Amino acid sequence: MEHKARKRFGQNFLHDAGIIQEIVANLQLQSRDHCVEIGPGLGALTFAMLPYLQHLDVIEIDRDLVQVLQDANQANKLTIYSADVLKFDFNQLQAKPLRIVGNLPYNISTPLIFHLFDFIASIQDMHFMLQLEVVERMAAEPDTEHYGRLSVMVQYYCDVIPLLIVPASAFTPAPKVTSAVVRLVPKTAMQIERAHDEKLFSQLVRTAFNQRRKMLRNTLKGLATVEQLEAVGIDPHARAETIRVEQYVKLTNSL
């Protein structure tokens, strides 16, 4: 059956065999890994991963594609969840830890990554194809152009390792932008001080970056006083984009 790519589901299918192999090589799959692929589509990554695995879970929203995958699932190595990943409860998957993989629909990539943070304790690692610009934002250091809320939140939960850049020509239809594959590895308790209240941490970071060019003493008014900022070594005249992840955590824990 010929499948017409659906824009509303962010469908850009990988067709470049070299890139597909490179992604799979980067995964270093072990046969007993519990891998979960988000948005398998027509199976470009799925069927390249499957020979290395005993089993693979996939989550796909498009019912037509679910049917295509079901028809191709002769050896029953796939468990296909016909679902919206943004509403998917990853706790229902039994064997832990999970290895999450996906050439993500770009329109939902940021909310999806935030959704996955709710299950971070069950995740071994994540490999995602994203817009290059999103990977740059995830990996950005303070005081640089791309540093923002996404950088702080992702770096709080994970080490961010950009792996490869993928040209638009590797997809059908070709997207308008260049893509990149990134590895996210959840941080251990040894690596970073945890926020005692992660909701408050998230609220603080969001508020700080809402007006990223303003002084924190103004943007965080109502959340933190000048004295509280100074007590954790944050200059009240500084702007959100100059503050390191650890400083946001320290501030949260002092409130």
Strand partners, 99: 35, 125
Q: Is 14 in the site for ligand SAM (CB under 6 A)?
A: yes
- Residue that has been written with the tokens 């509403």 in this structure: 87
Euclidean distance between CA atoms 228 and 234, whole angstroms: 9
Measured from the CB atom, the residue of 12 and 110 that comes closer to ligand SAM is 12
**CB contact at 8 A, 18 and 47:** no
Element (H, E) at 56: strand 56-60
Euclidean distance between CA atoms 229 and 157, whole angstroms: 23
Ramachandran assignment for 198, one of left (phi > 0), alpha (psi -120 to 50 degrees), beta (any other): alpha
| String of contacts with ligand SAM for each residue 55-84, x by CB under 6 A | ----xxxx--x------------------x
Q: Is 219 in the site for ligand SAM (CB under 6 A)?
A: no
Backbone torsions φ then ψ of 118, nearest 5 degrees: -65, -20
Q: Is 170 in the site for ligand SAM (CB under 6 A)?
A: no
Cβ 157 to ligand SAM, closest distance in Å?
21
Q: Is 13 in the site for ligand SAM (CB under 6 A)?
A: yes
- Amino acid identity of 209? F
CB-based contacts of 86-91 (< 8 A; 24+ apart in sequence): 86/111, 86/112, 86/115, 88/59, 88/115, 90/36, 90/116, 90/118, 90/119, 90/122, 91/119, 91/122
Euclidean distance between CA atoms 133 and 3, whole angstroms: 28
Measured from the CB atom, the residue of 19 and 234 that comes closer to ligand SAM is 19
Q: Which of residues 82-121 bind ligand SAM (CB under 6 A)?
A: 84-86, 103, 105, 108
Q: Is 12 in the site for ligand SAM (CB under 6 A)?
A: yes
Q: Is 39 in the site for ligand SAM (CB under 6 A)?
A: yes
Cβ 67 to ligand SAM, closest distance in Å?
12
Q: Is 44 in the site for ligand SAM (CB under 6 A)?
A: yes
| String of contacts with ligand SAM for each residue 130-169, x by CB under 6 A | ----------------------------------------
Cβ 214 to ligand SAM, closest distance in Å?
35
| Residues of the shown chain interacting with ligand SAM in the complex, contacts defined by CB under 6 A | 9-14, 39-42, 44-45, 59-62, 65, 84-86, 103, 105, 108
